[in-house]
Amino acid sequence: MSFLLSALPDALACAACVDGDDREDDRAPRARRMNAPDAAPPPTDRDAADAQLLERVARGDKTAFATLYDRFSRPLFALTLRIVADSAEAQDIVHDAFLTVWDKAAAFDARRGSAFTWVVTLVRNRAIDRVRQRRRRAELLAESAPADLGYHEDAPRPAADDASAFNDDARVVRAAVATLPPEQQRALELAFFGGLTQEQIAQKLNEPLGTVKARIRRGLLKLRAALPRRL
Amino acid sequence: MIAERHEELAALYALDLLAGADRTQFEAELAADPALRALVAELRDSAAALAHAAPPAGPPAALRERLLRSVETRTVSRSKEDEKILRPPPSIFRALLPWAVAACFALAAGWLGQLYLSSRTEAALLRDEKTFAELALQSARNQLEAERIVNGQRFATLDRELKAQGDLANFKIAALTSMLNNSPQALAVAVWNPAQQQGVLQVEKLPALAADKDYQLWVVDPAYPNPVDGGTFTVDPQSGAQRVTFHPRQPIKAVNAFAVTLERKGGVPKAEGPFVLFGK
């Protein structure tokens, strides 16, 4: 967490304005989200552009597919690698998930979320399934439990070009995450990257189930409030 | 205004943490509540944004090439499928006709083969049944023959027993007493079987014979003027005993008495010597 804050000084203002109490009012006004660092293009334009790419992919447009891959592959690969902790396996999962995108692009429904969310769901489900199949979830979590959702002090740093390419979305998200109390970060981390059930998260955190549910609810609502309307 | 409970369910649903009945029930509520659907969509986007929080890692360039090659392969496959679908109906029929004929032939061949195999199986079963029937018949015949033989043997035995019983009724048994003053203890028993025309003579304590003498048995039958020669015999010099089976030289119709005389060696046609034993 400390690394995240020091790496993202522009998030400090937001991070400093919240405390770690779960009972804190998590219904932040939507206007507050717009205070988060926002170097990304207008969200609605990006969503629309992604949706158009998917429409073209559905018609068999390989160029659109390559463009979509270039836009999404980096965070998706990072997400998958974070979940499965194996580069070769992560490549297979991303490969298969994008083939599903190619085959099922017509099934995308913009009313249910952004294109990025749709593809993230495809990739994440596959990655979690793979982890569950390997029955190594507990080991993976023990091996890779960082102090926060972002960088770990010992994590490999991205190359210079990667750092520039790993665009501002990451900075925005990390800044938004930094606004969450650590216990909410931890609950979201286990839920999103660990693929654990509610009960497993409660057991792992040694907290009552109701507390865990409340942390997840508050954390996700705060994240929604802290993020731009759509990345 | 969305209740806190629904917010919690929406957050859990957005992170795929709802399962089972809870998930089903929430999805039903979701279908009926546009505001709830909007909240879920936003929370899904927020959760998906967490992908950006993962430690940065870029996929290797080879993955992009591999993926585009896979897509190219699928495109070719899809084009071929589309081409098949877009063919005009007559061509489809013409293309399918040989396959249809082949399929019909295969079905017919399969049916006939099945029929042939079925018939062959039935024939084999019938042959087996016939063989079993023949074996059963032969077995029954053998059993009947065995029973016939056994019964025949039983009948023969019974017949012999009945005959023997009948013969026994006709047997002539006579106790012969001594006619000698010097050997009053001498005695004999004679049993005559008229059916077989033979008899048995058992003698005891007869005097020992001289070397030139024999005892000779006579059967007295009223049908003949003289006793019929029953043959000669000797006795044990010590005990004076003997058991002989005799066959008279002439057919015997009825036996009135038996007699034993002392004759010269080899016997005589007509009794000449003294009577030794006599009995009726």
- Decide if pLDDT at A17 tops 60: no
Rounded mean pLDDT, A93-102: 93
Q: Is A154 helix (H, G, I), strand (E, B) or coil?
A: coil
Mean pLDDT taken over chain A: 73
For A207, residues 6+ apart whose C-beta sits below 8 A from its C-beta are: A215
Of A139-153, A197-211, B198-212, B242-256, least confident by mean pLDDT is: A139-153
Within an 8 Å CB–CB cutoff, is residue A62 touching chain B?
yes
Rounded mean pLDDT, B134-156: 79
pLDDT of residue B214: 94
Cα–Cα nearest to A57, from A26, A98, A116, A8: A98
Most confident of A54-58, B88-92, B162-166: A54-58
pLDDT of residue A11: 35
- Decide if pLDDT at A196 tops 90: no
For B94, residues 6+ apart whose C-beta sits below 8 A from its C-beta are: none
Task: Please name the member of B45, B54, B60 whose beta carbon is closest to the beta carbon of A114.
Answer: B45
Rounded mean pLDDT, B80-106: 68
- Report the alpha-carbon distance of residue B50 to residue B14 in Å, rounded: 12
What proportion of chain B, given as a percentage, has pLDDT over 70? 91
- Report the alpha-carbon distance of residue A129 to residue A16 in Å, rounded: 37
* A210 CB burial (10 A radius; 0-12, 13-18, 19+): exposed
Residue B123 or residue A34, greater confidence: B123
Q: Do A66 and B45 touch (CB under 8 A)?
A: no
- Decide if pLDDT at B208 tops 50: yes
- Decide if pLDDT at A162 tops 70: no
Chain A with chain B: Cβ pairs closer than 8 A: 171
Cα–Cα nearest to A52, from A123, A92, A7, A110: A110
DSSP character for B273? S
Within an 8 Å CB–CB cutoff, is residue A194 touching chain B?
no
- Decide if pLDDT at A158 tops 70: no
Q: Do B15 and A74 touch (CB under 8 A)?
A: no
Q: Do B57 and A151 touch (CB under 8 A)?
A: no
DSSP labels, B132-193: HHHHHHHHHHHHHHHHHHHHHHHHHHHHHHHHHHHHHHH-EEEEEEE--SS-TT-EEEEEEE
pLDDT of residue A109: 85
Residue A193 or residue B123, greater confidence: A193
pLDDT of residue A222: 93
Question: How many other CB atoms sit within 10 Å of the CB of residue B163?
Answer: 12
Residue A23 or residue A207, greater confidence: A207
**Is the Cβ–Cβ distance between A11 and A178 less than 8 Å?**
yes
Tell me the pLDDT tens digit for each residue of A39-95.
333 456 778 888 899 999 999 999 999 999 998 999 999 999 998 888 998 999 999
The answer to whether the predicted template modeling score (pTM) of the entire model surpasses 0.90 is no
B156: confidence class by pLDDT, cuts 50, 70, 90: confident
